[in-house]
């Protein structure tokens, strides 16, 4: 009797490639977020502004019927690109996006770090970028549901309530603005959330950071602005930068007298930094042949 | 061995738990990051002073900027974030990290665990805040260091911030022992309730901890920051201090009681 | 004899999941092993005994005193939890000394005890490394160290040998046995029979939240020996092997699996079967690729015992 030599063997065959290998990660992330009662509460809360703005659009088409009720405030239901900017770049919606981000995004990578499961992911035929794509898609899914989807629905409803295409003819670029701004906000928050999630194994700590940095950056801006009255300090605030970009996308006057290009650079800079850190932090097991 | 002798008295247990977590707290990476964050006002103070000197601007005095920094940055942001994180950590860290067993199988009462850890974290956060505040004060008032009346303001601000940390941390300690998802509730309370309620008139604003803290600070002259004190109907300083101590004692008591009664399942 | 640990009708549910049901036990000084497959209720039982969780029904007493929230009792108890959790930023030395500070020991005594206990578990040279960098076995030994550092009378160990190498296991088992000679009470859980067997002959069998048997280990050993085992043999001549096995009275059944070179043999006397096996291989010049016992695990034994 002889004992056969046992040793490690490398698989030399061809693995069947899945078209979207990141999909299970996304599906699981979405399922996990929806399991949380608090998440569902804030998710529906984040949809509340779209309901209010939809009512505004309806009222705008029935102005005469509502004149007695709304009186002088009818200027608030003047539907134009500013109306859509006010919806998508409002303090309220951005605040809710941050809360949603900390609820669905804080644990995305930090939990994998905590339970050492990143190695498990990479023991599958999954590339680093596919892992990242799977995680980022969770955030993108939810943020699109509260920005892009209601934004486009509001636009379509305006056309439906009006019964003609005059509004579209006046602002043919508006759907692109909605899509563009929603993409920008979602891309920024996705990078921001995953970046902070990759910094710690403690998702409670990540949640505090997600909220704290967003809030803190605005406080610094307020303090400096209060003292120096220099609009360039708005570049320190995440919120102010997003709102500057909102003004650009919807062709409105910027809230701060600073070119939108600087805001874009700041936001892009944060995304680049996030990408760099994520690349360093998400490490799989290297198999040496 | 006489095991009875190895059971420490309550105060000794308290001191032991305190030193355990004061030691551990200083060691953790996240404490160091919070130390860095609490140094940001120092950087801000430096930038402000530097630019004032070079632009020869005298729009705002150093103490005016300092006082506003205390309200806008410290009271409305930093002490809330610190108390929220460290307060909820008192219990949640042990449960989430599954280290609770190491503490609850020692001859130490559960109240001593909560109070000792609370004390350690409160002192850590007070030190974090004090260092930043003192340095910012000296930088912003570098040209008036001989004006001793300013030091009274500094001492008062340090005391108010310490009271704030003591009070908020006790509240969040209670929340951490009570709720599993304490951070979200804490954020809603700290940045929702605490901000909104103080703008209401009459007795309503007395339901916010921030009301008592702001009652202890001088109302700034109307100007760019005055909206932050909008409609503040301050309580008397004596009442404010009493209420802050009372809130601290009540929530610490509740946290101890809950920690004693509640069963924490360390989940996988 | 005076019992050290007593439980009366102890029951625990986690929502609709039954953790432990109607457990009444008396545990004497010495080593008692708690044996059961994963999810049997061993950890729930030990958590109830150490007052970590509240029973829904029933009582636990240690030395006649209730356990939960009776913190003075813990000066006499050492507990090694199952979970692999630590204050990761501490070094091994800091971990043990800081936990010892929670007793009423003087500073020199703390240092002496910590030094001694880390020497016992052979972590002396690694004591200044942070726990985060420890291997699984080192972490397990450190957990054990914190449980014995204050010289408790009662040592409760939840899966103490998990993740340890054979040498480490032997060392810990020797230590546990030494504590027995000092009159201490040791309660150790495991799902591996030989581990418990190496420590004690007093065992409690736990399964599906219930105490299935309590007593001498020989009884369970006998049950296991008579439990029919299926052994799978992958070789180059399974037909020849089958024709030889079928003649033996300790072989109940011989089957060919769906894979052509694999033979499944069912025996009611494992010991005899395995003692003759090598001689067959040599005699008939059979090349063996693999031998495995399909149900050589505790779960299978329990299933057999409870008749499922």
- Compare CB distances from B65 to A204, A216, A227 and report the shortest one's residue: A227
- Separation between Cα atoms, residue B94 and residue C48, nearest integer Å: 19
Looking at chain B, which subunits does it touch, using at least 3 CB pairs closer than 8 Å as the criterion?
A, C
Residue B181, pLDDT score: 82
Chain A: which residues have CB within 8 Å of chain C? 1-2, 4
Which tens digit of pLDDT belongs to each residue from C75-126?
Answer: 999 999 999 999 998 999 999 999 999 998 999 999 999 999 999 999 999 9
Task: List CB contacts (< 8 A) between B77 and chain A.
Answer: 212, 215-216, 219
Buried b (16+ CB within 10 A) or exposed e, A162-172: eeeeebeeebe
pLDDT computed for residue A189 by the predictor: 97
Q: How far apart are CA C50 and CA C66, in angstroms?
A: 10
User: Does C172 score more than 70 pLDDT?
Assistant: yes
3-class SS of residue C12: strand
- Supply the DSSP symbol for C91: B
Task: Test C288 with A4 for CB contact under 8 angstroms.
Answer: no
Q: Is C255 helix (H, G, I), strand (E, B) or coil?
A: strand
A144-158 mean pLDDT: 95
Which tokens hold the place of C138? 């080192």
Is residue A1 within 8 Å of residue C286, measured between CB atoms?
Answer: yes
Residues 6+ apart with CB under 8 A from C259: C234
Measured between beta carbons, which residues in chain A are less than 8 angstroms from residue B190?
Answer: none
Q: How many Å lie between the alpha carbon of C100 and the closest alpha carbon of chain B?
A: 9
Q: Which residues of A touch B (CB under 8 A)?
A: 36, 38, 99, 102-103, 200, 202, 204-205, 207-208, 211-212, 215-216, 219-220, 222-224, 226-228
A228:B51 CB<8 A: yes
Interface list for B 208-237 with A (CB within 8 A): 224-225
Q: Is B95 on the interface with A (CB under 8 A)?
A: no
Cβ <8 Å between B6 and C98: no
Has residue C6 got a pLDDT over 90? yes
Element (H, E) at B100: helix B100-104
Percent of chain B at pLDDT above 70? Answer: 92
| pLDDT greater than 50 at residue B228 | no
In the prediction, which pLDDT does B85 show? 93
Model pTM score? 0.84
Report whether C302 contacts C207 (CB < 8 A): yes
In this prediction, residue C197 has a pLDDT band, given cuts at 50, 70 and 90, of: confident
For residue B113, give the chain C residue with the closest CA.
C102
B268 touches chain C (CB under 8 A): yes
Q: Do the Cβ atoms of B3 and C94 come within 8 Å?
A: no
pLDDT confidence of residue A289: 41
Residue B124: which H helix or E strand, with range? helix B110-140
Could you say which of A200, A202, A211 has the minimum Cβ distance to residue B187? A211
Identify the pLDDT of residue C64.
92
Q: Which of C14, C51, C151 sits opposite B1 (nearest CB)?
A: C151
> Looking at the complex, does the CB of residue B257 fall below 8 Å from at least one CB of chain C?
no
Chain C residue closest in CA terms to B109: C71
Distance between CA A171 and CA A204 in Å, rounded?
A: 44
Q: Which residues pair with C211 in a beta bridge?
A: C206
Which of B76, B187, B225 is the mutation pick for testing A, counting most A CBs within 10 A?
Answer: B187
B1 and C89: CB-CB below 8 Å? no
In sequence order, the 6+-apart residues with CB closer than 8 A to the CB of A49 are A87, A90, A92, A93, A96, A150
Facing C69 at nearest CB: one of B101, B110, B265 = B110
Cα separation, B109 vs A162, whole angstroms: 70
Contact A2/C287, CB-based, under 8 Å? Answer: yes
Mutation choice for B interface testing from A98, A219, A227 by most B CBs within 10 A = A227
Chain B, 153-212: which have a CB under 8 Å from a chain A CB? 181-184, 187, 191
Could you report the per-residue pLDDT of B102-159, keeping only the tens digit for each? 999 999 999 999 999 999 999 999 999 999 999 999 999 988 888 888 999 999 999 9
Q: Under an 8 Å CB criterion, which residues of C touch A? A: 281-282, 285-289
**Other Cβ atoms closer than 10 A to A63:** 12
Mutation target vs C (from B2, B3, B12; most C CBs, 10 A cutoff): B3
Q: How many whole angstroms separate alpha carbon C60 and alpha carbon C255?
A: 50
The span from the CA of B212 to the CA of B244, in Å, is 7
pLDDT score of A82 = 93
CA–CA separation, C62 and C77 (whole Å): 9
Encoding tokens for residue C16?
């609709």
More confident of the two residues A287 and B257: B257
pLDDT at residue A38 tops 50: yes
Q: Is C189 helix (H, G, I), strand (E, B) or coil?
A: strand
- Set of chain A residues whose Cβ sits within 8 Å of the Cβ of C281: 1
Contact A1 C282 (CB under 8 A): yes
Chain segment B70-103, per-residue pLDDT in tens: 988 899 899 999 999 999 999 999 999 999 999 9
Per DSSP, the residues of C133-186 read: G--HHHHHHHHHHHHHTT--SEEEEESTTTT--HHHHHHHHHHHHHHHHTT-EE
Residue A94 pLDDT level (bands cut at 50, 70, 90): very high
> What is the pLDDT, as a whole number, of residue A13?
72
Burial track A125-140 (b if 16+ CB lie within 10 A, e otherwise): ebeeebbbbbbbbbbb
| Residues of chain A positioned with their CB less than 8 A from the CB of B132 | none
Option in A36, A212, A222 nearest B72 (CB): A222
Classified as helix, coil or strand, C32 is strand
Whether the pLDDT of residue B223 is over 60: the answer is no
How much is the ipTM here? 0.87
Shortest Cα distance, chain B CAs vs residue C16, angstroms: 15
pLDDT at B213 over 70: yes
Residues of C in contact with B30 (CB under 8 A): none
C neighbours by CB contacts (3+ pairs under 8 Å): A, B
Residue C186 near residue C155, CB atoms below 8 Å: yes
Beta strands C202-207; C30-35: pairing state: parallel
Please report the sign of the dihedral spanned by the C-alpha atoms of residue C114, residue C118, residue C124, residue C127: negative
Q: Which positions in chain A touch B76 (Cβ < 8 Å)?
A: 219
Smallest CA–CA distance, residue A86 to chain B, in Å, is: 21
Q: C236: which DSSP letter?
A: S
Determine whether the interchain pair B8/C72 forms a contact, defined as Cβ–Cβ distance below 8 Å. Answer: no
- Cβ contacts (< 8 Å) between C53 and chain B: which residues? 263, 265
Given a cut of 60, whether residue B221 has pLDDT beyond it is: no
Tell if the CB–CB gap between C71 and B99 is shorter than 8 Å. Answer: no
Residue B201 DSSP symbol = -
Torsion of CA B148, B164, A94, A101, to 10 degrees: 130
Q: What percent of chain A has pLDDT over 90?
A: 62
Give bridge partners of residue C256 from the DSSP assignment: C263
Question: B7 and C103 in contact by Cβ < 8 A?
Answer: yes
Q: What is the 3-state secondary structure (H, E, C) of chain A?
A: CCCCCCCCCCCCCCCCCCCCCCHHHHHHHHHHHHHCHHHHHHHHHHHHHHHHHHHHHHHHHCHHHHHHHHHHHHHHHCCCHHHHHHHHCCHHHHHHHHHHHHHHHHHHHHHHHHCCCHHHHHCCCCCHHHHHHHHHHHHHHHHHHHCHHHHHHHHHHHHHHHCCCHHHHHCCCHHHHHHHHHHHHHHHHHHHHHHHHCCCCCHHHHHHHHHHHHHHHHHHHHHHHHHHCCHHHHHHCHHHHHHHHHHHHCCCCCCCCCCHHHHHHHHHHHHHHHHHHHHHHCCCCCCCC
Pairwise CB contact (< 8 Å): A215 & B51:
no
Count the neighbouring beta carbons within 10 Å of the beta carbon of residue B200.
Answer: 15
pLDDT over 80 (residue A7): no
Contact in structure between C271 and C303 (CB atoms under 8 Å): no
Contact residues for A150 (Cβ-Cβ < 8 A; gap 6+): A47, A49, A50, A53, A87
Chain A environment of C287 (Cβ under 8 Å):
1-2
Task: Say yes or no for a CB contact (<8 Å) between C83 and B12.
Answer: no
Q: Which of A245, A289, A251, A284 has the alpha carbon at shortest distance from A268?
A: A245
Identify the closest residue of chain B to A227 by CA–CA distance: B60
Residue B262 near chain A (CB below 8 Å): no
Considering only CB atoms, B44 lies closest to which of A103, A200, A223, namely A223
Show which of residues 96-115 on chain B sit within 8 Å of chain C, judged by CB atoms: 97-99, 101-110
Contact C163, C136 (CB under 8 A): yes
pLDDT at A274 over 70: yes
User: Would an 8 Å CB–CB cutoff place B76 in contact with chain A?
Assistant: yes
Instruction: Quote the DSSP letter at residue B193.
Output: I
Measured between alpha carbons, how far is residue A32 from residues A35, A112, B21, C208 in Å? 5, 14, 33, 29
| Angstroms from A133 CA to nearest CA on chain C | 30
């Amino acid at each position: 009797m002889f004992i056969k030599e046992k040793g490690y063997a490398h698989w030399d065959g061809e693995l069947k490639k899945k078209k979207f290998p990141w999909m299970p990660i996304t599906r699981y992330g979405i399922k996990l977020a929806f399991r949380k009662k608090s998440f569902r509460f804030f998710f529906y809360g984040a949809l509340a502004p779209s309901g209010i703005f939809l009512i505004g659009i309806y009222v705008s088409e029935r102005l005469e019927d509502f004149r007695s009720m709304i009186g002088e405030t009818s200027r608030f239901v003047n539907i134009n690109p500013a109306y859509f900017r006010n919806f998508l770049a409002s303090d309220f919606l951005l605040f809710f996006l941050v809360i949603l981000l900390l609820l669905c995004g804080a644990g995305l990578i930090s939990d994998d770090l905590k339970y050492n499961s990143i190695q498990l992911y990479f023991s599958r035929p999954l590339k680093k970028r596919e892992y990242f794509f799977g995680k980022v898609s969770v955030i993108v899914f939810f943020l699109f549901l509260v920005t892009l989807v209601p934004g486009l629905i509001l636009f379509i409803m305006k056309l439906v309530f009006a019964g003609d295409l005059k509004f579209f003819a006046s602002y043919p670029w508006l759907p692109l603005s909605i899509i563009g701004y929603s993409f920008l906000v979602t891309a920024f928050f996705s990078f921001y959330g995953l970046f902070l999630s990759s910094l710690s194994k403690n998702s409670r700590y990540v949640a505090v950071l997600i909220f704290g940095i967003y809030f803190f950056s605005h406080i610094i801006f307020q303090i400096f602005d209060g003292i120096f009255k220099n609009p360039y300090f708005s570049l320190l605030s995440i919120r102010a930068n997003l709102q500057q970009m909102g003004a650009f996308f919807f062709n409105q006057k910027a809230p701060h007298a600073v070119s939108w290009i600087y805001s874009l650079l700041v936001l892009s800079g944060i995304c680049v930094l996030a990408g760099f850190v994520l690349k360093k932090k998400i490490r799989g097991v290297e198999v040496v042949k | 061995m006489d095991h009875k002798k190895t059971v420490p008295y309550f105060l000794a247990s308290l001191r032991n738990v305190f030193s355990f977590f004061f030691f551990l707290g200083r060691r953790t990476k996240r404490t160091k990051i919070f130390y860095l964050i609490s140094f940001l006002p120092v950087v801000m103070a430096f930038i402000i002073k530097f630019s004032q000197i070079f632009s020869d601007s005298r729009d705002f005095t150093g103490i005016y900027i300092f006082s506003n920094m205390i309200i806008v940055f410290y009271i409305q942001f930093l002490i809330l974030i610190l108390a929220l994180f460290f307060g909820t950590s008192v219990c949640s860290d042990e449960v989430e990290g599954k280290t609770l067993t190491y503490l609850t199988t020692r001859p130490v009462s559960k109240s001593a665990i909560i109070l000792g850890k609370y004390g350690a974290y409160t002192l850590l956060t007070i030190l974090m805040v004090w260092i930043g505040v003192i340095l910012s004060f000296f930088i912003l008032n570098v040209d008036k260091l001989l004006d001793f009346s300013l030091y009274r303001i500094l001492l008062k601000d340090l005391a108010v911030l310490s009271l704030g940390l003591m009070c908020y941390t006790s509240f969040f300690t209670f929340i951490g022992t009570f709720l599993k998802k304490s951070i979200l509730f804490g954020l809603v309370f700290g940045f929702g309730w605490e901000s909104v309620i103080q703008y209401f008139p009459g007795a309503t604003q007395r339901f916010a901890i921030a009301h008592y803290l702001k009652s202890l600070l001088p109302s700034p002259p109307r100007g760019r920051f005055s909206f932050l004190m909008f409609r503040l109907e301050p309580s008397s300083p004596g009442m404010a201090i009493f209420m802050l101590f009372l809130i601290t004692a009540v929530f610490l008591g509740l946290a101890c009681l809950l920690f004693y009664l509640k069963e924490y399942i360390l989940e996988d | 004899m005076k019992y050290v640990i007593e439980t009366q009708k102890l029951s625990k549910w986690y929502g609709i999941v039954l953790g432990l049901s109607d457990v009444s036990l008396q545990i004497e000084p010495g080593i008692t092993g708690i044996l059961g497959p994963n999810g049997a209720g061993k950890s729930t039982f030990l958590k109830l005994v150490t007052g970590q969780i509240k029973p829904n029904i029933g009582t636990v007493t240690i030395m006649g005193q209730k356990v939960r929230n009776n913190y003075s009792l813990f000066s006499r108890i050492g507990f090694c939890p199952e979970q692999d959790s630590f204050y990761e930023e501490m070094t091994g030395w800091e971990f043990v000394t800081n936990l010892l500070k929670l007793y009423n020991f003087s500073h020199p005594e703390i240092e002496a005890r910590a030094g001694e206990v880390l020497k016992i578990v052979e972590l002396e040279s690694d004591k200044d490394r942070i726990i985060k960098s420890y291997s699984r076995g080192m972490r397990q030994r450190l957990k054990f160290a914190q449980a014995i550092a204050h010289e408790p009378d009662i040592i409760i160990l939840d899966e103490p040998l998990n993740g340890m190498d054979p040498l480490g296991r032997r060392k810990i088992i020797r230590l546990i046995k030494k504590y027995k000679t000092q009159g201490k009470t040791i309660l150790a859980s495991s799902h591996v029979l030989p581990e418990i067997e190496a420590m004690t002959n007093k065992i409690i069998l736990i399964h599906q939240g219930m105490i299935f048997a309590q007593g001498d280990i020989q009884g369970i050993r006998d049950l296991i020996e008579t439990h029919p085992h299926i052994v799978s043999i992958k070789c180059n001549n399974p037909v020849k092997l089958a024709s030889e096995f079928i003649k033996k009275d300790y072989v109940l059944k011989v089957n060919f699996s769906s894979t052509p070179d694999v033979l499944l043999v069912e025996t009611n006397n494992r010991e005899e079967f395995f003692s003759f096996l090598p001689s067959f291989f040599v005699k008939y010049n059979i090349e063996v690729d693999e031998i495995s016992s399909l149900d050589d695990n505790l779960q299978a034994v329990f299933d057999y015992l409870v008749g499922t």
